[in-house]
Amino acid sequence: MKTNKKRAAVTISMPQDMAEEYEKLAKKLAKNRSVLFREMFLAYKRQNLKAEFRELQTYGTALAQKKGVLTESDVEKIAFEGR
């Protein structure tokens, strides 16, 4: 019979002082360590996605400026050209 695991145990190590801070934060927020870690991981992931988006946006803006695409109407002209 095949089992469908929905969770995986993960073990991490950190300096003792960091572990104590982590434990205090979990207690302060009234969350267990697993929930706190999941929330921290998701926040980190969101932050990285936003940074990646900004980086792509900056790249796209620079590329558009080189090609003379400066306004929304410039984009629309290119998008609908030849339709």
Residue 5 predicted with pLDDT over 80: no
Q: Which domain holds residue 44?
A: 16-80
Whole-number pLDDT of residue 3: 64
Quote the CA–CA distance of 56 and 43 in Å, as a whole number. 20
Pairs from 8-12 (Cβ < 8 Å, separation ≥ 24): none
Place of tokens 């434990």: 23
Place of tokens 């990285």: 48
Residue 37 predicted with pLDDT over 70: yes
pLDDT tens readout for residues 60-69: 999 989 988 8
Q: Any idea what DSSP says for residue 71?
A: S
6 lies in some domain:
no
63 lies in some domain:
yes
- Total domains in the chain come to 1
23 lies in some domain:
yes
24 lies in some domain:
yes
52 lies in some domain:
yes
Strands (E), the chain: none
